[in-house]
């Protein structure tokens, strides 16, 4: 029987997520809930399923957003589509269905950033053959989603995981335990304090943070349905660290981390990571993703400390294949590529100036 492709609605929400949970490349950023979260920040979600003999064999959660000023849409499949990347016939069909929608919607291009290591040269060649081209930005963590991450196989038992860590990491975990740092699951009531510590972190490390309402939305959309968890580290009755994790199927991701300037010497960040790993194992996960690290690993890189912290848990340093764009409207795409960086820099400059003014 031939493949059948359909754009679906919320009546197939559970079935869509169930496929992601069992798919080897299933990702929480392709989940139904993630599309709903992004729909409240200016994106329009579309969900595609491809079936064979009535069973889902591929999905794509597609996000559409109109670019500023001109109001023409772009498409983005964050860590998707989800399918057997080696099945050329299946991938061809998915791209054909997205192209049909792009023609209807007038989209400029489709951006994808697959959860596939850069060593997968066959996929890179396929993308080139289909007209994709690399769209690396070369900034920060090198993309909309991090291109470089640490990923840890957590299928071994806990003692083996501890034994495999860097000696200093293992020491800091035990130090936090000895000093009386307590890790617990966070509640909705912990969000304001988590966000306060997160802002403290961003001011110390000089990066931007989303509005508090965004974290409310993350919690309300993901935690109650088992796709996320908030963790809190307390010392002497005070919240000194917090993290937000995502999970689907057998994979978990460390997404946001907040660390107070106070009591950093009791190493709460090490213990909270260890407890997150233990939590992921308890859910049956075999992969724990520490998310973004720098792509240039020299000690003078401002983010080298983050790299060293994550490396200590003995995860595998992974470079993904990166961002790829399939262009539908070449002239407008050319203008977008040249004007969007200028627009972004201007907006960021204005935001930075406003924040400096407020602090002043």
- Which whole number is the average pLDDT over 1-14? 94
For the domain made up of 155-285, the CATH class stated in words is alpha beta
Model confidence at 1, pLDDT cuts 50, 70, 90, reads low
| Torsion, Cα of 175, 181, 185, 190 (10° steps) | -140
Q: How would residue 360 be classed by pLDDT, with cut points 50, 70 and 90? A: very low
Task: With cut-offs at 50, 70 and 90, classify the pLDDT of residue 292.
Answer: confident
Q: What pLDDT does 344 receive?
A: 53
Does pLDDT of 88 surpass 90? yes
- Residue 303: predicted pLDDT: 76
Q: How does the average pLDDT of the chain come out, rounded?
A: 91
**What pLDDT band is residue 236 in, cutting at 50, 70 and 90?**
very high
Report whether 185 contacts 231 (CB < 8 A): yes
pLDDT at 356 over 60: no
Supply the pLDDT for residue 338.
Answer: 75
Asked whether the predicted pLDDT for residue 225 surpasses 90, the reply is yes
- Residue 318's contacts (CB-CB under 8 Å, 6 or more residues apart) are 117, 148, 149, 150, 151
The yes-or-no verdict on residue 278 having pLDDT over 60 is yes
Per CATH, 4-137+321-359 and 155-285 having the same topology is answered yes
Question: How far is CA 253 from each of CA 4, 214, 243, 244, 292, rounded to the nearest angstrom?
Answer: 32, 18, 11, 9, 10
Q: What's the CA gap between 190 and 169, in Å, rounded?
A: 27
HSE value, Cβ hemisphere, 13 Å, CA-based, for 139: 6
* Nearest of 162, 216, 177, 179 to residue 194 by alpha carbon: 216
Task: Tell me the mean pLDDT in the region 174-199.
Answer: 97
- Residue % of the chain over a pLDDT of 90: 79
* Cβ within 8 Å of residue 2, ≥6 positions away: 52
Tell me the domain boundaries of the chain.
Answer: 4-137+321-359, 155-285
Q: Taking the CA atoms of 268, 273, 275 and 279 in sequence, report the sign of the dihedral they define.
A: positive
pLDDT bucket at 7, cuts 50 / 70 / 90? very high
pLDDT value, residue 347:
43
Buried b (16+ CB within 10 A) or exposed e, 61-74: bbbbebbeeeebbb
pLDDT of residue 138: 53
Pairing outcome for strands 251-259 and 287-292: parallel
Residue 68, pLDDT above cutoff 70: yes
Q: How far apart are CA 250 and CA 240, in angstroms?
A: 29
Residue 351 is predicted with a pLDDT of 41
Does the pLDDT of residue 116 top 90, yes or no? yes
Q: Per CATH, the architecture of 4-137+321-359 is what?
A: 3-Layer(aba) Sandwich (3.40)
């Amino acid at each position: 029987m031939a493949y059948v492709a359909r754009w679906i609605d919320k009546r197939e929400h559970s079935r869509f997520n169930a496929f992601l949970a069992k798919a080897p490349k299933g990702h929480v950023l392709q989940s139904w809930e993630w599309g709903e979260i992004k729909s409240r920040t200016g994106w329009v979600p579309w969900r595609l399923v491809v079936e064979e003999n009535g069973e889902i064999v591929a999905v794509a959660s597609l996000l559409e957003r109109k670019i500023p000023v001109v109001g023409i849409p772009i498409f983005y499949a964050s860590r998707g589509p989800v399918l057997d990347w080696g099945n050329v016939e299946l991938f061809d069909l998915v791209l054909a269905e997205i192209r049909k929608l792009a023609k209807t919607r007038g989209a400029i291009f489709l951006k994808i950033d697959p959860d596939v290591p850069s060593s997968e040269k066959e996929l890179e060649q396929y993308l080139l053959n289909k007209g994709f081209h690399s769209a690396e930005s070369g900034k920060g963590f090198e993309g909309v989603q991090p291109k470089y991450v640490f990923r840890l196989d957590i299928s071994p038992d806990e003692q083996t995981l501890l034994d495999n860590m860097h000696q200093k990491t293992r020491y800091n975990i035990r130090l936090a335990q000895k000093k009386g740092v307590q890790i617990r699951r966070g509640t909705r009531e912990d969000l304001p304090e988590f966000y306060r510590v997160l802002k403290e972190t961003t001011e110390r490390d000089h990066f931007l943070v989303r509005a508090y309402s965004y974290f409310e939305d993350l919690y309300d959309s993901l935690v109650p349905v088992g796709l996320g968890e908030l963790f809190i580290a307390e010392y002497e009755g005070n919240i000194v660290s917090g993290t937000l994790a995502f999970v689907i199927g057998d994979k978990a991701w460390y997404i946001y981390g907040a660390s107070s300037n106070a009591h950093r010497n009791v190493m709460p960040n090490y213990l909270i990571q260890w407890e997150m790993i233990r939590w992921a194992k308890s859910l049956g996960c075999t992969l724990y993703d520490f998310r973004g690290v720098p792509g240039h690993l020299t000690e003078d890189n401002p983010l080298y400390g983050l790299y060293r912290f994550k490396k200590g848990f003995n995860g595998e340093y992974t470079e993904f294949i990166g961002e790829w764009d399939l262009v539908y409207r070449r002239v407008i795409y050319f203008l977008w590529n040249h004007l969007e960086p200028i627009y972004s820099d201007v907006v960021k400059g204005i935001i930075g100036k406003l924040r400096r003014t407020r602090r002043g």
